[in-house]
Amino acid sequence: MHVSRSQEVAARFCLDRMTQELFDIDQQIARKEVTEEEGEVLKEKVRNQIDHYSSMDGSAKFLLGTMGAFTVLYIIAVGGGVAVGVLDRNMYWKDALDQYVMLSSGYLVLFVVPLFLTSLGFKTTKAN
């Protein structure tokens, strides 16, 4: 959670800085330091950076919420598996816990690892 929060803060600082850059470009155009065409090119570059950092901010929030949901589902799967093992299959609770923690961990790895890799793609892919 700390990493996601720091990514969110970094993205917001970058977005604030880029708003200032857009203002500076307008000031340069007003002072005739750059032409209108050059100013539009510079503004487009800044807008592309804004899109990139905005997507980083959104993907950090998406990843945090999804990981929380998977944690809850993992706990429910382990608890339900132990209950089925003890009540339905007449297993000793420690044996049921061992078996269903392993099964639930496989489920977690099967779904969380691709999600994590996908979210890394969201964070590192620059918007065109």
Identify the burial level of 11 via C-beta atoms within 10 angstroms of its C-beta, where 0-12 means exposed, 13-18 middle and 19 or more buried: buried
Give the pLDDT band of residue 117 (cuts 50, 70, 90).
confident
pTM, two decimal places: 0.53
Mean pLDDT, rounded, of the chain: 79
The pLDDT tens digits of the residues spanning 77-108 come to 899 999 999 999 999 999 999 999 998 888 88
Q: With 80 as the cut, is the pLDDT of residue 50 above it?
A: no
CA dist list (Å): 102 to 18, 36, 50, 69, 105 = 48, 63, 43, 19, 5
